[in-house]
């Protein structure tokens, strides 16, 4: 009995010492612990609400880098110029290639300014709804969401289909789709304790609530430690459960860039067919919207396409799909640039070698899109 008591006391003392050390270092690292937390409750609530419908929306931390002032609506879309009742609405959909337009405003140049001026000169209202890693399926859902919840009825849609969208669709989103009455209803976010992918929000939401719900630094530290112990324990138990009980065949893999990129190196015929089906479904969704007079699809090659390191180009899939449809334009930069021997691509890239630098984004990419757009207004 005495030995058992000693063991219990030793365990309790050890836990108190461990917890005290953990508290001390967490308290010292307080600012960094809450670095990515939501800064307003409205932003947290709208993020949690719409991520359940559409897998993910924009990140608050990016908006704070883009704009001096933001509202919770900027998590979903940005009005580039003020709405006018008599003006046509041009909606930009797509991934970070179009979300990058927002980034231009902070430094007050290039893409954002070009669109502001073009809109003013041509009586157009531009709405940018692009968000990182958005692909045709997410754009499909987004159209309904913008219409139903925000009363946005665009006249023209300009949609960017990125090279990695084939990997996004087949690796990230395919097994998260939810159907209702045979129609796509939502794409589940990866919010469970062992959620795969880059958009595992459950921990972020929990930490953010601790950050926002009280102002006492000691209490926040105490709550944060307890939450992390709870979260990590559940994450560990869920991992064990998945390893022993889950269906490995249907398990959703963690889709880092390397997993997504492999579809550009050697996709199967079935991969390509499945991806092209998502493009077709997106086009059909656009055609359902009687207010949309024109759809312009845009594609651009990656640096590795210029270097012949990729065997597949998403532009080819878009070209095949568009060739069977009426009243759909495809602005195919691969056609324009890959066979142009005078075009020098080496200095057009951002440091990640995937996105365009700010000057090229405006002077080549956006200007060409506006030239195409001017034909339809």
Q: What number is the average pLDDT over the span 66-91?
A: 82
Q: What is the pLDDT of residues 321-331, one digit of tens each?
A: 999 998 899 99
The span from the CA of 310 to the CA of 200, in Å, is 30
Between 81 and 252, residue with greater pLDDT: 81
Show me where the domains of the chain are located: 77-190+252-374
* Order of strands, sheet of 156-160, starting from the edge strand that comes earlier in the sequence: 78-79, 124-128, 88-93, 156-160, 294-299, 328-332
The predicted structure's pLDDT at residue 108: 47
**CA-based angle 359:360:366, to the nearest 5?**
100
Decide if 144 contacts 183 (C-beta within 8 A). no
The answer on pLDDT for 317 being more than 90 is yes
Confidence of residue 98 (pLDDT cuts 50, 70, 90): very high
The predicted structure's pLDDT at residue 249: 54
Any idea which architecture 77-190+252-374 has in CATH? 3-Layer(aba) Sandwich (3.40)
Strands 78-79 and 124-128: antiparallel
Structure tokens at 172: 């990230």
Q: What number is the average pLDDT over the span 115-139?
A: 94
Q: What is the pLDDT of residues 267-277, one digit of tens each?
A: 999 999 999 99
The span from the CA of 137 to the CA of 169, in Å, is 7
Decide if 137 contacts 278 (C-beta within 8 A). yes
The predicted structure's pLDDT at residue 14: 84
The predicted structure's pLDDT at residue 193: 45
Mean model confidence pLDDT for the chain: 87
The answer on pLDDT for 286 being more than 90 is yes
**pTM of the entire predicted model:** 0.89
Between 336 and 81, residue with greater pLDDT: 336
Q: What is the pLDDT of residues 341-377, one digit of tens each?
A: 778 888 899 888 899 998 899 999 999 999 999 998 8
- For 369, residues 6+ apart whose C-beta sits below 8 A from its C-beta are 158, 296, 298, 331
End-to-end CA distance of the chain: 87
The span from the CA of 366 to the CA of 313, in Å, is 21
Q: What percent of the chain has pLDDT over 70?
A: 90
Confidence of residue 189 (pLDDT cuts 50, 70, 90): confident
Strands 177-180 and 88-93: unpaired
Q: What is the pLDDT of residues 133-186, one digit of tens each?
A: 999 999 999 999 999 999 999 999 999 999 999 999 998 898 888 888 888 888
Longest Cα–Cα distance in the chain:
89
Poorest-confidence range of 89-98, 155-164, 221-230? 221-230
For the four alpha carbons of 323, 335, 170 and 296, in that order, the dihedral sign comes to: negative
The predicted structure's pLDDT at residue 139: 97
Q: What is the pLDDT of residues 55-67, one digit of tens each?
A: 889 988 878 777 7
Q: What is the pLDDT of residues 32-55, one digit of tens each?
A: 888 888 999 999 999 999 988 898
């Amino acid at each position: 009995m005495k030995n058992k008591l000693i063991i219990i006391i030793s365990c309790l003392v050890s836990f108190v010492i461990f917890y005290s050390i953990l508290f001390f270092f967490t308290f010292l690292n307080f600012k960094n612990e809450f670095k990515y937390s939501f800064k307003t409750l409205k932003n947290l609530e709208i993020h949690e609400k719409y991520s359940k419908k559409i897998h993910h929306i924009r990140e608050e931390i990016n908006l704070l880098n883009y704009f001096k002032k933001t509202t919770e609506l900027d998590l979903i879309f940005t009005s580039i110029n003020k709405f006018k009742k008599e003006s046509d609405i041009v909606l930009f959909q797509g991934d970070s290639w179009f979300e990058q337009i927002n980034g231009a405003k902070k430094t007050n140049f290039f893409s954002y300014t070009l669109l502001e001026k073009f809109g003013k000169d041509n009586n157009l209202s531009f709405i940018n709804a692009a968000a990182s890693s958005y692909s045709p399926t997410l754009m499909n859902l987004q159209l309904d969401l913008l219409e139903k919840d925000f009363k946005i009825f665009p006249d023209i849609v300009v949609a960017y289909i990125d090279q990695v969208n084939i990997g996004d669709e087949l690796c990230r989103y395919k097994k998260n789709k939810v159907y209702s009455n045979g129609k796509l209803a939502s794409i589940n976010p990866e919010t469970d304790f062992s959620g795969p992918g880059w958009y595992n929000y459950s921990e972020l939401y929990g930490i953010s609530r601790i950050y926002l719900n009280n102002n006492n630094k000691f209490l926040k530290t105490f709550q944060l430690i307890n939450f992390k112990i709870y979260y990590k324990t559940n994450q560990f138990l869920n991992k064990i459960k998945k390893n022993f009980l889950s269906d490995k065949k249907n398990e959703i893999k963690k889709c880092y860039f390397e997993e997504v990129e492999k579809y550009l190196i050697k996709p199967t015929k079935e991969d390509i067919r499945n991806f092209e089906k998502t493009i077709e479904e997106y086009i059909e969704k656009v055609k359902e919207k009687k207010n949309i007079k024109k759809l312009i699809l845009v594609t651009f090659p990656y640096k590795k396409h210029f270097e012949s390191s990729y065997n597949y180009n998403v532009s080819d899939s878009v070209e095949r799909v568009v060739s069977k449809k009426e009243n759909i334009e495809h602005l195919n930069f691969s056609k324009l640039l890959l066979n142009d021997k005078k075009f020098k691509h080496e200095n057009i890239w951002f440091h990640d070698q995937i996105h365009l630098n700010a000057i090229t984004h405006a002077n080549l990419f956006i200007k060409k899109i506006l030239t195409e757009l001017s034909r339809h207004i």
